[in-house]
Amino acid sequence: MGKVDTKSATRNNRIICLPFSQEVYNANIKNPIDFRKCINERIELFPELFPPEITEGYLMKDIYHSIKQSVPIRRIEIAGISYSIRPSFLMPYMTGITDETEKALFMRKFNVPFWALSYVFGKDPMYWYRMEQSLGRNSIVGTTIRNPDGIPQHLGADEKHTRILGDKVYVATTVGNECILGASIAKDAGEQSLQDAYQVFKNETQCLKSAYTPTTVNMDWWKATRNAWKFLFSSVVIICCFLHVFIKIRDRAKKKYKDIFDEAASKLWDCYHAENKIAFSQRIRRLVEWCKKNNMPSVIANPIKKLRQNIAAYRVAYDHPKAHRTSNMIDRLMQRMDRHLFSTQYFHGSIAAAELSIRGWTLIQNFAPYNPRTVRKLNGFKSPAERLNQFRYHDNWLHNLCISASLGGYRGPNGIRFFSIKNPSYRINSVTL
């Protein structure tokens, strides 16, 4: 209960969102011949936005008018199934004009409350709440990742503790390439609940690419998390987070044993920077001997001793040079999630509502722009999703999100061949759409 039904989403989502300026759309929508030319241009440029069957052709169908926005919407038929074409300047469910809502939704990146959005931008607070939730109906993986071959092979996973109406729950979070790729509610920290929560991530990745399985995943030493991932991806290599060893020592020894903590921490990180497996094992062994020789307190010696006992789970990272040896990436992203949940005073409704809420927030985090200094540092890439894909459909981040969420992000595996853009600096504003 409360989980996003990926099969249902694939079956029922019949909205194709395409990049259109309002002027071009209004000039062509009434004429089926002209509008077909517009669609054909977009099929050529962005085949991934359409169902795989588009390669077999399509039929033009009727036009209906959106009562909410008074905008004509045309339908097409692909393989006997009707799809509506929604221009990117309209929000999902015709709830608003994209350019008029993007600034308010951008403020949600910084956890501005809904009543404040209502005060500044108008509308009712529930309007903005439902607007954010509607984004959560899309596939996080399918919306964030454009190229099926671009799904990260090296991931991080952890659970964020939170509450729904005072009851403790967990947000099972998966990250890769600085993007949050999975965020699902688990009722408890048991193996079955975590397996069900991480199953959503697996369903979404395999909807995009049926043969996908990650190479490595970094996590802490929680047994239920390890078992859940091993059940879902039997070949995945689990790498234990080295940083957690340091944190455990720091939290217990930094103040009480200030004189010896710095030396112990320095020796521990010297182990981390070992060039290979053999050197790593040797340094860990010598560190254990140093602790014993100098009669280190248990809060320092015991975590290091446990590290040596489970050294295989840390040493395996040397077999995968691109793997994450620490949880730095997921910790950074979960700190934002922590601030978000604290500012909302956690969840106040059903599990289904909580699921949509955290998923909508996740997509805003993936697509909302960085600050200008970071954009310059990243050579013009404006958001985590754009940085991952090295591509954007539109200069406006909310247009880019809506277009990326065509078909709800649930596109069939191994369908349309992915067309790469030869010019990596290509941007949508170089074409009159």
Structure tokens at 236: 């995945």
Decide if 236 contacts 214 (C-beta within 8 A). Answer: yes
Q: How far apart are CA 132 and CA 147, in angstroms?
A: 25
Q: How far apart are CA 433 and CA 431, in angstroms?
A: 6
Please state whether 431 falls in left (phi above 0), alpha (psi between -120 and 50) or beta: beta
Q: How far apart are CA 195 and CA 227, in angstroms?
A: 8
Quick: pLDDT tens for 43-102: 999 999 999 999 999 999 999 998 889 999 999 999 999 999 999 999 999 999 999 999
Decide if 25 contacts 37 (C-beta within 8 A). Answer: no
Torsion of CA 141, 143, 148, 149, to 10 degrees: -70
Q: Give the Å distances, CA to CA, from 220 to 154, 291, 347.
A: 15, 24, 25
Q: How far apart are CA 392 and CA 428, in angstroms?
A: 7
Decide if 114 contacts 333 (C-beta within 8 A). Answer: no
C-beta neighbour count of 116 within 10 angstroms: 14
Q: How far apart are CA 187 and CA 170, in angstroms?
A: 6
Any idea which residue has 């954009």 for tokens? 375
Decide if 15 contacts 66 (C-beta within 8 A). Answer: no
Nearest to 1 by CA among 198, 228, 197: 197
Any idea which residue has 């395409």 for tokens? 18
Q: How far apart are CA 93 and CA 408, in angstroms?
A: 12
DSSP 64-125: EE-TTT--EEEEEEETTEEEEEEETTB-GGG-SBHHHHHHHHHHGGGT--HHHHHHHH-S-H
Decide if 379 contacts 108 (C-beta within 8 A). Answer: no
What does each of the 433 residues of the chain score in pLDDT, given as a tens digit? Answer: 445 444 444 445 899 999 999 999 999 999 999 999 999 999 999 999 999 999 999 999 999 998 889 999 999 999 999 999 999 999 999 999 999 999 999 999 999 999 999 999 999 999 999 999 999 999 999 999 999 999 999 999 999 999 999 999 999 999 999 999 999 999 999 999 999 999 999 999 999 999 999 999 999 989 999 999 999 999 999 999 999 999 999 999 998 898 899 999 999 999 999 999 999 999 999 999 999 999 999 999 999 999 999 999 999 999 999 999 999 999 999 999 999 999 999 999 999 999 999 999 999 999 999 999 999 999 999 999 999 999 999 999 999 999 999 999 987 654 433 333 333 333 333 344 6
**142 Cβ contact list (under 8 Å, min separation 6):** 204, 207, 208, 405, 407, 408, 409, 410, 411
Q: Provide the mean pLDDT of the chain.
A: 91
Structure tokens at 399: 């247009």
- Cα 201 to its chain centre, rounded Å, is 9
Q: How far apart are CA 360 and CA 263, in angstroms?
A: 45
Helices (H) and strands (E) in the chain, counts: 19, 9
- The reported pLDDT for the residue numbered 17 is 96
State whether the Cα torsion 297-302-308-314 is positive or negative: negative
Q: How do 72-78 and 167-176 pair as beta strands?
A: unpaired
DSSP 23-37: HHHHHHTT-HHHHHH
414: Cα within 13 Å, side-chain hemisphere: 4
State whether the Cα torsion 196-199-204-206 is positive or negative: negative
Adjacent-strand bridge partners of 60: 76
Q: How do 154-164 and 216-219 pair as beta strands?
A: parallel
Domains and CATH numbers, the chain: 147-240+322-342 (3.30.420.10), 242-319 (no CATH)
- The reported pLDDT for the residue numbered 431 is 42
Q: How far apart are CA 343 and CA 98, in angstroms?
A: 26
State whether the Cα torsion 295-296-299-304 is positive or negative: negative
User: DSSP character for 418?
Assistant: P
- The reported pLDDT for the residue numbered 427 is 38
State pTM to two decimals: 0.90
